[in-house]
Amino acid sequence: MIARYADAQALSPQEAETHCANSAGIARLGQPEGIAPSVAFLVSPAARWLTGVALRIGGGEVKSL
């Protein structure tokens, strides 16, 4: 995604990543290491009673009008 955005905006990948993180208001983009614990929980026996749940794992960013 960053590479396509960088190309469309004529930015380097590093500039595009900085721009996206700053515009999200969280100063950094998500990394697999930040998402992995949630995924590990969801596939573990500890989550066996979860049904029909939507978890937002997005670092606090919410798209709205």
> Is residue 7 domain-resident?
yes
**Domain tally, the chain:** 1
pLDDT score, position 52: 83
For the segment 1-45, what is each residue's pLDDT rounded down to a tens digit? 778 888 898 999 889 888 877 776 666 677 888 889 989 999 999
- Helices 13-24 and 2-9: crossing angle in degrees, nearest 10, is 100
> Is residue 52 domain-resident?
no
Q: Domain limits at 21? A: 2-47
> Is residue 15 domain-resident?
yes
Residue 19 CB burial class (10 angstroms; 0-12, 13-18, ≥19):
middle
59 vs 6, residue with greater confidence:
6
> Is residue 57 domain-resident?
no
The dihedral built from the CA positions of residue 28, 31, 34 and 35, taken in this order, carries a sign that is: positive
> Is residue 65 domain-resident?
no
The structure's pTM equals: 0.52
In whole angstroms, what separates CA 60 from the centre of its chain?
Answer: 9
